[in-house]
Structure formats: C-alpha cells, structure tokens
Amino acid sequence: MVRNRVQCIIPPYVLEAIEANGTPEQRARAAATLRIDAVVRADRAEAPTAPPQPAADVTAHRRIYDAGNTTNLPGTLVRDEGDPDSADVCVNEVYDGFGTTLDLYGQVYSRNSVDDAGLDLIGTVHYATDFNNAMWDGEQAIFGDGDGSIFNRFTIAIDVIGHELTHAVTQYTAGLAYRNQSGALNESISDVFGSLVKQYHASPRQTADEADWLIGAGLWAPRIHGAALRSMKAPGTAYEDPLVGKDPQPATMDGYVTTRQDNGGVHLNSGIPNHAFYLAAVSFGGYAWEKAGRVWYDALTDPSLSSNAGFLEFAQLTVQKAEALFGADGRQRIHDAWAQVSITT
C-alpha cells in the first residue's frame, strides 16, 4: 500500500493568489485553508497505512457525515445508505454523487466500489468554516462550504465528487505517487473519471461532442470571472480573474511546467494528459466512457503500470490497451491523441 498524501481539488497556487490579492478577510480564509490542508496532511502522514477493510456484505454503503463546521472527522452521521433525502442540500449532493460514481464504475467497468471489494464510501460535509477546498485524505472525501465570496459549496459539482473518489480508485490500483509526472497523471485520472461521472449523470447522457469537458463548473462564486477550475478541452482557459489569477494549465508538452510547488505541478501538468483524453474521446465519438474511458480504465488497473509512471509510460500502455480492445483503428486514434499533446508513443 502506497502512503498517500491528502489530495485537494484546489491547488495551493490559487489559494496563494487569493492571499496576495484578496481583502483581509479573504486572505485570512485562504491562509486558514492552506493551514488546514497542511494539518490534515500531517495527521494522515502519521496514520497507519493499512486501508479500511471491505464491508463483509461486499455491497458498498454510502455514509454521509456532518462536521458541523469543525475539523473533527468524520463528524456526525446524517445520512446512511437507504435513508431518505436530507433537508441539507450538501448531504444529498454527496450521497447522489457517490451513487453515480458507484454506478459508472460498477455498470461500465464492473468495478465493485473504489477498491473493487465493496468498500463503503465515507463523505463529510460542512468541514471547517468557510473552507475553500474538497479533498480525499486516503480514507474519506471531505467537502468545505466555500466562503461564498470566491467559492460556492464544494458539493455543487458532481465531477468534483467523482474526482475525489477516483483518487481512491487510483490509491487501490496503480498507486500513482503524488508528485511530478506520476502525480499529474494521478490528478488527470481523477479529472478524466470525474468528467465521465458528470457526462454519465447528465439527463440525457452526454456524448463526447456534447460534453463541456469542464472540471468544477459552478464552483466559482458569481463575482469570479471563470467557467470552472479546469478545462480538458482547452487547458489554460477555465478562469481569469484579478483575484484568483489565470488558469495556468498547459495543453501540450511544449508548455510543461517544471516546479517544486504543488507537488511538482500536479494540478498544472495534468492539463497535458487531460487534453490527450479529450482528444481521444472526441476521436472515437459517442459516449466517452465506452471507448476512451475503457482504454484509460484498463491502463490504470493494469498491474504493470508502475507507481512512478511518467506520461510516456502511461501513454504507451493506453496504446496497447486500445489495440487489444479496438484493433489497429483504436491504436491509431490513441497514438494520434498523444501525438497532439507532443507525446510520441
């Protein structure tokens, strides 16, 4: 079992921009969010690394807790599997988002919960006060309320919920180390399947051409000039605002960012494999989870994928999987998608 860091949806560079540009109140909240991220990281670094054991009945139950604006985890149980709707929209959004994520993995990829052994899913809402983040801490998903001035509640975007649970899938499969290229792949895979959860959940379901390929649409409060946190279709264009800065994601290796910040740019360079997936999905056409998603899922869950895999190792594995699944035509489409982001398989 690979020891995992806490994995947050909002990267430190966004919070640091708010610290530099915000009002005193906004600065204080950004600083508090960065501090709490660090505290949770430290807690988990000392925690035992053994994963929670699968439930005996091997059917995943969803359990949603309320932290009551404290940092106590998991908090008070407020909705167990099968319970009726809560009066609290955040509770229902997480419960339903967990449900769609279980359905996508179960119905499309025959995966029984995130660990493929029926692991119960734990989510905590109303974590801390005005907390501007959502995260997977190695054992459960955690959602802040947002401060209302820069961020809305973090349960508002179902792709963010799918993103956090996909960190768990990666934890139980490839265990991609959360730094540099393997970390950017880890982030990208969470965006890929988070976006597929959103497309699968839409009514009617969306094809690759119909999807917006945005991650976290609705998360920015109205005053912030931005459509979402990230764009898989056009990395680097999701937001631009004096308070939070400009989306810094590259779309191809030509813009690859070498940095020590953000665990070596895990939320930056993820734009490159994100864009390759988008290109592959559009090339195949139809529902993205059926072909491109299947190729990515088979690569992620192949025991030969190393925990320190770089972009090229993963890309080469997707080409192999595409050929096995869809023959020479599939192989060519995946090869071409990676070539367009300047990765030659």
Residues acting as catalytic residues: 164, 267
Q: What does the binding site for Zn ion look like in residue numbers (CB under 5 A)?
A: 7, 190
Which of 181, 60, 77, 75 has its CA nearest to residue 119? 60
Cβ proximity to Zn ion, 198 vs 331, nearer residue: 198
User: Buried b vs exposed e over 130-155: b needs ≥16 C-beta within 10 Å?
Assistant: bbbbbbbbbbbbbbbbbbebbbbbbb
Cβ proximity to Zn ion, 268 vs 319, nearer residue: 268
Helix axis angle, 271-284 to 311-340, nearest 10°: 50
Q: Do residues 114 and 13 make contact, with C-beta atoms less than 8 angstroms apart? A: no
CB of 293 to Zn ion, least distance (A): 18
Which of 314, 237, 236, 328 has its CA nearest to residue 277? 314
Q: Parallel, antiparallel, or unpaired: how do β-strands 121-125 and 62-66 relate?
A: parallel
Which of 279, 273, 339 has its CA nearest to residue 310? 273
Torsion of CA 139, 5, 160, 123, to 10 degrees: 20
Q: Do residues 247 and 326 make contact, with C-beta atoms less than 8 angstroms apart? A: no
Cβ proximity to Zn ion, 185 vs 322, nearer residue: 185
Q: Do residues 146 and 154 make contact, with C-beta atoms less than 8 angstroms apart? A: yes
Q: Which DSSP symbol is given to 226? A: B
Cβ proximity to Zn ion, 95 vs 193, nearer residue: 193
Cβ proximity to Zn ion, 238 vs 282, nearer residue: 238
CB of 106 to Zn ion, least distance (A): 22
